[in-house]
């Protein structure tokens, strides 16, 4: 498993010395749709570094209402709570687009961070990037129309996917914290404008530039910088 062939941005950006601390404890895993990676308020036992596929971080209110507060693809990793010194999260994380990646036991991650200040600093930069994503999502959900939110979300998934997006309208409604009929209408609007092609369970973006324009800034500089992931490279050792 040479570091140079990995597709996960967090692992790619580590110095060879820091990657060597993680590599012996990592194993490759298939990430099936709806596979749970973290349960809310339960100790986190493993962290995951996706190479393909998408994981959703979902918050739940009393009464069962849910909304996605973050997405993780090859740009990132699960276990932000661990990086920040906690052992659990109030949110759940599960796979929404099937793929594969690398799995690492939490105890091995903690031991590696204890050995390397630069590893801890690199992972904290990713944690900050993820929190920027979450704060942007809160801003957009509070001020943007549903079609703008949907376009932003599809663009973010497209950034982290292999092309076609396989999702149901019901799943999209959960991700956006919206009612299913509203999501269906928004998808129809995007398709009518020639921005996407949608059929049951499958969405293809046709006009990416048009989608970005439609968001009216909801998909902006932060999203296009991939939430600062490139900045992780500044933690490399010479």
Which carries the bigger pLDDT value, residue 233 or residue 226?
226
Q: In sequence order, what E strands does 74-154 have? A: 92-105
What is the average per-residue pLDDT within 96-105? 94
The answer to whether 228 and 178 are in contact (CB under 8 A) is no
Cα separation, 234 vs 125, in Å, equals: 10
The DSSP bridge pattern shows strands 36-38 and 27-31 to be unpaired
Torsion angle of alpha carbons 111, 116, 119, 121, nearest 10°?
110
pLDDT at residue 59 is higher than 80: yes
The per-residue pLDDT for 229 is 37
What is the average per-residue pLDDT within 200-219? 89
- pLDDT classification of 55: cutoffs 50, 70, 90: very high
pLDDT at residue 77 is higher than 90: yes
**Residue ranges of the chain assigned to CATH 2.60.120.10:** 3-140+228-235
Torsion angle of alpha carbons 179, 32, 99, 65, nearest 10°?
20
Considering the segment(s) 145-217 as one domain, its CATH architecture is: Orthogonal Bundle (1.10)
CA dist list (Å): 68 to 137, 193, 195: 9, 26, 23
**Residue ranges of the chain assigned to CATH 1.10.10.10:** 145-217
Angle between helices 146-159 and 169-176 (to 10 degrees): 100
Chain segment 137-169, per-residue pLDDT in tens: 888 878 888 889 889 988 988 888 766 777 766
Q: Which CATH superfamily is domain 3-140+228-235 in?
A: Jelly Rolls (2.60.120.10)
Q: Work out the number of other CB atoms within 10 angstroms of the CB of residue 115.
A: 12
- Tokens 């959900």 correspond to 141
The per-residue pLDDT for 226 is 57
């Amino acid at each position: 498993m040479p570091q140079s062939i990995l597709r996960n941005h967090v692992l790619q950006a580590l110095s060879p010395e820091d990657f060597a601390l993680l590599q012996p404890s990592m194993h490759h895993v298939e990430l099936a749709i709806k596979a749970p990676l973290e349960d809310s308020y339960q100790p986190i036992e493993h962290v995951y570094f996706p190479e393909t596929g998408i994981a959703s971080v979902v918050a739940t209110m009393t009464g069962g209402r849910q909304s996605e507060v973050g997405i993780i693809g090859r740009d990132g990793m699960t276990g932000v709570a661990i990086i920040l010194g906690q052992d659990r999260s109030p949110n759940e994380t599960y796979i929404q687009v099937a793929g594969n990646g690398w799995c690492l036991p939490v105890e091995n991650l903690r031991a590696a961070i204890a050995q390397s200040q630069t590893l801890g600093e690199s992972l904290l930069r990713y944690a900050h990037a993820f929190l920027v994503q979450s704060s942007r999502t809160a801003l957009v959900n509070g001020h943007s129309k549903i079609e703008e939110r949907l376009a932003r979300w599809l663009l973010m998934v497209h950034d982290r996917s292999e092309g076609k997006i396989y999702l149901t309208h019901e799943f999209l409604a959960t991700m956006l914290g919206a009612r299913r009929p509203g999501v269906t209408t928004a998808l129809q609007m995007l398709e009518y404008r020639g921005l996407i092609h949608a059929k049951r369970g499958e969405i293809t973006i046709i006009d990416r530039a048009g989608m970005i324009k439609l968001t009216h800034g909801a998909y902006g500089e932060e999203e296009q910088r991939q939430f600062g992931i490139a900045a992780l490279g500044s933690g490399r050792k010479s």
